[in-house]
Chains A and B, each alone.
Chain A
Amino acid sequence: MIVLRRLVSALPSVIGVIIVTFLLTRALPGDPAAYFAGPAATQQAIDEVRHQLGFDRSLPVQFVDYVKHLAQGDLGTSLSTGQPVIDELITRLPASAELTLLGLLLAVAVALPLGITAAMRPGSWVDHSCRIVATAGVSLPTFFTGLLLVYIFYYLMGWAPAPLGRLDVFYTAPPNWTGFYLIDSLIARDWETFTAALSQLALPAFTMALFSLAPLARVTRASMLAALGSEFIRTARASGLSRMRIVYVYAFRNAMLPVITTLGMVFSFLLGANVLVEKVFAWPGIGSYAIEALIASDYAPVQGFVLTMALLYVLLNLAIDLVYGLVDPRVRLEA
Chain B
Amino acid sequence: MNQILRHARYVLGENPVTAASFGMFALFIIAAILGPTIAPYDPLASNTAQALAGPSPAHWFGTDQLGRDIFSRIIAATRLDMGIALSSVALAFGVGTIAGLAAGYRGGWLDRVVGRIVDTIMAFPLFVLAMGIVAALGNNIENIIYATAIINLPIYARLARAEANVRREAGFVEAARLCGNSETRIVLTQLFPNVMPLMMVQISLTLGYAILNAAGLSFIGLGVRPPTPEWGIMVAEGASNIISGEWWVALFPGLVLMAAVFCFNLMGDGLRDIVDPRRRT
Chain B binds chain A = yes
Chain A residues engaging chain B, CB cutoff 8 angstroms:
12-14, 16-17, 19-21, 24-25, 27-29, 131, 134-136, 138-144, 147-148, 150-151, 154-155, 162-163, 218, 222, 267-273, 275-276, 279-280, 290-291, 294-295, 299, 302-303, 305-306, 309-310, 313-314
| Per-residue contact bits, chain B 57-101, to A (CB 8 Å; 1 contact, 0 not) | 000000000000000000000000000000000000000000000
| Contacts known (A139-B261, A148-B254); A24 close to B235, Cβ less than 8 A | no
**Partner among B119, B129, B245, B258 whose Cβ is within 8 Å of the Cβ of A155:** B245
Main secondary structure of the interface of B (DSSP, over half): helix
**Partner among B131, B258, B266 whose Cβ is within 8 Å of the Cβ of A275:** B131
Assess whether A143 is in contact with B219, with CB atoms less than 8 Å apart. yes
B222 at the interface (CB under 8 A from A): yes
CA distance A138 to B235 in the complex (A): 18
Inter-chain residue pair count (beta carbon < 8 A): 145
CA distance A267 to B127 in the complex (A): 11
Assess whether A272 is in contact with B254, with CB atoms less than 8 Å apart. no
| Neighbouring B residues of A303 by C-beta, 8 Å | 132
Chain A residue with Cβ nearest B219: A143
Assess whether A141 is in contact with B269, with CB atoms less than 8 Å apart. no
CA distance A30 to B123 in the complex (A): 27
**Partner among B120, B232, B261 whose Cβ is within 8 Å of the Cβ of A13:** B120
Assess whether A275 is in contact with B128, with CB atoms less than 8 Å apart. yes
Q: Which of B236, B238, B242 has the most CB of A within 10 A?
A: B242
Chain B residues engaging chain A, CB cutoff 8 angstroms:
116, 119-120, 123-129, 131-133, 135-138, 208, 212, 215-216, 219-222, 232, 235-236, 238-239, 242-243, 245, 247, 250-251, 254, 257-258, 261-262, 265-266, 269, 281
Assess whether B216 is in contact with A276, with CB atoms less than 8 Å apart. yes
Assess whether B120 is in contact with A144, with CB atoms less than 8 Å apart. no
Assess whether A310 is in contact with B128, with CB atoms less than 8 Å apart. yes
| Neighbouring B residues of A299 by C-beta, 8 Å | 135
Assess whether A294 is in contact with B220, with CB atoms less than 8 Å apart. yes
**Partner among B138, B221, B222, B258 whose Cβ is within 8 Å of the Cβ of A141:** B258
A202 to chain B, nearest CB (A): 17
| Contacts known (A24-B132, A144-B235, A148-B254); A309 close to B216, Cβ less than 8 A | no
CA distance A136 to B266 in the complex (A): 9
